[in-house]
Each structure stands twice: as structure tokens, then as C-alpha cells.
Amino acid sequence: MNWVLVSAFLILAILSLRQRRRTREEWRQIGRIIEAIGEGSRPKSFILHGEKALQQIGIGLEKLADQRDRLESQISREGFNLQAILASMVEGVMVVDVDGVIRLVNDSLLALFDLKTTPVNRGALHTLRDAAIEAVLRKALATGEVQFREIEMIASKRHLALSAAPVRDSAGAVLGVAATFHDISRVKQLEEVRRDFVANVSHELRTPLSIFQGYVEMLRENPELPREEISSTLQVLSKHSTRLNALVEDLLSIARLESRQDGLKLAPWDAARFLSSVEEDWRLKFQAQEVRFCIEIAPDLPSICVDHFKLEQVFNNLLENALKYTPAGGSVTLRAAQAPASGELSGTDVEIRVIDTGSGIPAADLPHIFERFYRADKARSRALGGTGLGLSIVKHIVQIHGGSVRAESVVGSGSSFIIRLPGATA
Ligand code: ADP
């Protein structure tokens, strides 16, 4: 009897030991799968060896892993889309919550505000240090309506167009504000140039017109004036009408160049023929002022195409200046050669220099002489009938040919205007 009991006990002990070992093994399998899912990786297999219930657990865990994978790829897809859109925007984007804390920005915003580190989780006012922007954000939050405003940033001299739109949840409650900053500095600059231009034109027109009016009235009120006086008055009127004419001509040139109405009529350039025809046009004027005129053309000039009429305008303006500022006994040289290759500029360009031995241009004025209405010596330019527009027309024409123009000068020794025109293969 005892023997039977002992045997039964032993069998039970062995069975329980086996069961414990199996259960431990099963838990280990489950543990391995859960650990893999927890680490974000996918287990090699979800098959659990054991009873049916255990296999059910394996199937359940596989479903869980599938769902997690789906969610992850959905999140990364949406994340990619949002980030890609934000990163590709030229506008600066910033999302601020109801407490004024920045929740999201894109790279353009960092660049616009010169931010070296991400401002996310920091206050908008503290980060951007601009009370006007803060006020717009606050108003969008308070009213729940889109706000627009132009912001001038004093330090960076930038002009920004800010629009701030409330962000709402599905129930319509305002969660924050999405602000976009558009850099409109260039537009503002163009507006300013245009305003200055109109002011300058009005100023240039006012002087000769008021002189005109004064003299005409004087003639009307004094019909019995002696002949000599009438003649000298008419001379003054003629001088001012010439000036007005020159101004209107230059303004029309600028308007035509800007509107590109007539486009460029490009044709191959024959340097020798072109420059000698220019010389012919100017020979008498140079002789009358006793200024020597020379032409130097290097052999083997690269071939270029130009708009002959417009290039003539360039040389007429440059030679008129050279003659204006070069006293008798001096000289003006037109020199055409192959331009030296430098940096990205090709060696197939042509360089034409207009060199005079005149009064020269002070170094402080040199960077500005191509600006409209800029005159180094205002009184002298006006007295000589200058409009202050000649060089800006020169620059414009050279630029639409794809070329460049610059000036070098030494006061008292003379000036050189250097034009570079791109070669046909450039
Ligand atoms: P302007 O009608 O007054 O000549 P430009 O635009 O042609 O206007 O020239 C701008 C200014 O540059 C001139 O007012 C003059 O002060 C200076 N300048 C231009 N060319 C010369 C030159 N060859 N020598 C000296 N000064 C020059």
C-alpha cells in the first residue's frame, strides 16, 4: 500500500515539475514577444507552442503588433507630410497656444528672426521681442478672427506681412494662433524707389518749368522790352527747354527699357565698323572742344551679339559725359579687347573701356554714380545740362545684354567706364 502511495506521489511530483517547466517556457515565449513589441521591433514569429489558449494569445499579440505598425506608419506619413510642407514654405510659420507659448515653427521662421535654436516651448514675446507681433497674436486669440498687419523690424530692416489665424478644435474652441510671416522687404524697397523716382522727377521738372513761367510772364507784361533783352530772355528759355527735352527723352528711355516694350534686336557686332561710326558722330564735337578722340581695337575680339541702337545710346551717354568733364587738351579713348577670364566670368567676353583724362570722380561718389538722379557735382552737372539719368540708362542697357558696367576714377587724372559684354558662347 505504502509503495502505491509513494509511486503515486512520485508521479504527481514529476508531472507537476514538468508542468512548471512547461509553464515557465510558455511565459518565456510570451515575454520574448512582448519585449520585442515593447522595443518597437517585430518578433520573428508569434507562434506559441502549447495549448490552444496559448496559441490564441499568440494570435492576439500578432494583431496588437500589426495595429502598432499601422499606427506608426500613419504617424510617420503624416509627420513627413507636415514637416515637408512646413520646410518647403518660404514664409515663416509659427503656431502659438492660448498662453502665448510657441508650439511649432519652420526653418524659414528661424531664418527670418535670426534664431539660432528652436524657440518651441518658449514665449512668443520673449522669443521675437516685438510688441507689435505680440499684439496681433493676442488680437487673433481674443477675437477669434484672422488678423493682418505689416511689421517693420528695426534691427534687421526687414518688412514682414503677418497674418495670424486662430486654430480651433473640432468643437470650435480657439486652441491657439497660426501665424505666417511673409518677407515683403523687396516690395517695400521697390515702392520706395518708385516714390523717390516720382519725387525726383517732380523736382527736376519744377525748376525749369517755374523759370519758364517766370520769363514768359515777364515777356507778356513787358511787350515793349528792348530787343537785346528779349533775345537774352529767349536764350534762357531755349536753354531750359533743351534741358526739359533731355529729361523727357531720358525718362522715356527708362520707361521703354523698364517695360521692355521694344525688346532687344540682337545682331553680330563688328567692333571696328561700330566704333568708327560712333567716332564719326562725335568727331566735330570733340574737335570743337579740343579733346583728342582715340579708338583702340585689339585683334581677335570674341564675337558678340548686341542691340546696335541701344549700344549706341550707351556710348552716346558715356562720350557726352567724358566730353563734359574733360577740359581742352585732354583725351578720350575707346578701347575694345577680349575681357580677362575671372571667376565665373568667361574669357570669351568683350570689354570696352571709355577712358578720359578729365576731372575724375571722388571715391565717395563712385559707388553711387549709376543710381538715378545721382550727381557727383550737382551744380556742375545741371549747368552742363545733365539729367542725372545717363549712367543709370547705360547700366540698364548693359544689364539687359547680360553684361556689367563699372567705373574707376582718380580725381584730377580721369575716369574709366568699363563695360563687359558676354561672348556669343557664354
Ligand atoms: P549727368 O546727366 O549728371 O551726367 P549721369 O548719370 O550721366 O548724369 O552721371 C552721373 C554723375 O556721374 C554725373 O553727374 C557726374 O558727377 C559723374 N560723372 C559721370 N561721368 C563722368 C566723367 N566721365 N567724369 C567725371 N564725372 C562723371
Specify the pTM.
Answer: 0.66
Cell of residue 278, nine digits? 560712333
Q: What is the pLDDT of residue 426?
A: 44
What is the rounded distance in angstroms from the CA atom of residue 113 to the CA atom of residue 92? 9
Domain enclosing residue 121, as ranges: 90-183
Nearest protein Cα to ligand 1, atom 25: 360
Higher-pLDDT residue of 236, 81: 236
Residues 172, 114 within the same domain: yes
User: Does the C-beta of 386 come closer than 6 Å to ligand 1?
Assistant: yes
Residues 313, 227 within the same domain: no
Last residue of a domain, one of 84, 115, 142: 84
Q: Are 128 and 105 in contact (CB under 8 A)?
A: no
Nearest protein Cα to ligand 1, atom 20: 321
What is the rounded distance in angstroms from the CA atom of residue 13 to the CA atom of residue 25? 18
* pLDDT band for position 128 (cuts 50, 70, 90): confident
Virtual torsion, Cα 241, 251, 361, 378, nearest 10 deg: 50
What is the pLDDT averaged over residues 71-77?
80
Residues 406, 284 within the same domain: yes
Unique residue bearing C-alpha cell 518688412 = 159
Which is it for the CA torsion 52, 58, 61, 66, positive or negative?
Answer: negative
List, for residues 52-72, the tens digit of each pLDDT value.
888 888 888 888 888 888 888
Distance 234 CA to ligand 1 centre (A): 28
Q: What are phi and psi of 338, to 5 degrees?
A: -70, 135
User: Does the C-beta of 313 come closer than 6 Å to ligand 1?
Assistant: no
Residues 123, 245 within the same domain: no
Mutate to test the pocket of ligand 1, among 369, 413, 418, 419 (most ligand atoms within 8 A of CB): 369
Residues 96, 52 within the same domain: no
Residues in a beta bridge with 179: 94, 164
Distance 288 CA to ligand 1 centre (A): 21
Last residue of a domain, one of 61, 84, 107: 84
List, for residues 88-111, the tens digit of each pLDDT value.
999 999 999 999 999 999 999 999
Residues 372, 398 within the same domain: yes
Q: Across all residues in the chain, what is the average pLDDT? A: 89
What is the rounded distance in angstroms from the CA atom of residue 261 to the CA atom of residue 82? 44
List, for residues 374-422, the tens digit of each pLDDT value.
988 877 777 777 889 999 999 999 999 999 999 999 999 999 999 999 9
What is the pLDDT averaged over residues 210-235?
89
**Which one-letter amino acid corresponds to residue 261?**
Q
Residues 36, 142 within the same domain: no
Query: What burial letters (b/e) apply to 165-187, b meaning 16+ CB within 10 Å?
Result: ebbeeeeeebebbbbbbbbbeee
What is the rounded distance in angstroms from the CA atom of residue 67 to the CA atom of residue 77? 15
**Which one-letter amino acid corresponds to residue 217?**
E
User: Does the C-beta of 361 come closer than 6 Å to ligand 1?
Assistant: yes
Percent of the chain with pLDDT strictly greater than 90: 50
What is the pLDDT averaged over residues 312-323?
95
Least trusted range by pLDDT, from 1-5, 151-155, 229-233, 322-326: 1-5
Distance 366 CA to ligand 1 centre (A): 10
Would you say residue 189 lies in a domain?
no
What is the rounded distance in angstroms from the CA atom of residue 236 to the CA atom of residue 203? 19
CATH number of the domain within which 152 lies = 3.30.450.20
Q: What is the pLDDT of residue 397?
A: 95
* pLDDT band for position 165 (cuts 50, 70, 90): very high
Distance 350 CA to ligand 1 centre (A): 24
List, for residues 1-56, the tens digit of each pLDDT value.
678 888 888 888 888 888 888 888 888 888 888 888 888 788 888 887 777 888 88
Nearest protein Cα to ligand 1, atom 19: 321
Residues 253, 287 within the same domain: no
Would the pLDDT of 272 be above 50?
yes
Domain total of the chain: 4
Residues 295, 407 within the same domain: yes
List, for residues 320-366, the tens digit of each pLDDT value.
999 999 999 999 999 999 988 776 666 689 999 999 999 999 999 99
Residues 253, 274 within the same domain: no
Residues 161, 273 within the same domain: no
User: Does the C-beta of 359 come closer than 6 Å to ligand 1?
Assistant: yes
